Amino acid sequence: MTGTSREQAVPVKLIDNERTIVTEWRFADGAETGWHRHEHDYVVLPMADGTLQLESAEGTHYAELKKGEPYFKQAGVEHNVINASGGDFSFIEVEYR
C-alpha cells in the first residue's frame, strides 16, 4: 500500500527461477512502485533516458538515468520509486538470489 493516489507502475516478470528474477518495470508519467524493500542484490538497466524520484527514510532525491547504462545496488534498499520523466519510462531489473 502506497498511501498515495498515484498510478502504480506495472511489473512484468520475464524470468523467475532458482537463481535470477528479471522484471520489466513500466511506468506511466508520475506512476510509482510503492514502498518496498529489496531482498536481493540487483541491477537496473534503463530502457530510455529518464528521471526517477526516489523516496527513502533518508529523504527524497532524484536520479537521472541514461538508456543502456546499468547500476547495481545491494539487498536491503527500502524506497518508493516514482517516474518524474514527464512521460512513459521503463527499466529492466535483474535480482540475484
Instruction: Please compute Rg for the chain using Cα positions.
Output: 13
In a domain, 53, yes or no: yes
Rounded to an integer, what distance in angstroms lies between the CA atom of residue 80 and that of residue 32? 7
The residues that bridge with 36 in the sheet, in sequence order, are 79
What b/e sequence results for 3-22 when a residue is b if at least 16 CB atoms lie within 10 Å of its CB, and e otherwise?
eeebeebeeeeeeeeeeebb
- Could you tell me the residue range of the domain that residue 69 belongs to? 10-96
Mean pLDDT of successive 10-residue segments in the chain (97 residues)?
Answer: 79 98 98 97 98 97 98 98 98 98
Query: Is residue 44, in this structure, part of any structural domain at all?
Result: yes
Domain assignment present for 39: yes
* CA-wise closest residue to 73 among 48, 38, 21: 38
pTM: 0.92
In a domain, 52, yes or no: yes
pLDDT of residue 2: 47
Residue 3 lies in a domain: no
- Which CATH number fits the domain that encloses residue 61? 2.60.120.10
| Structural domain count, the chain | 1
Q: Give the Cβ contact number of residue 32 at 10 Å.
A: 19
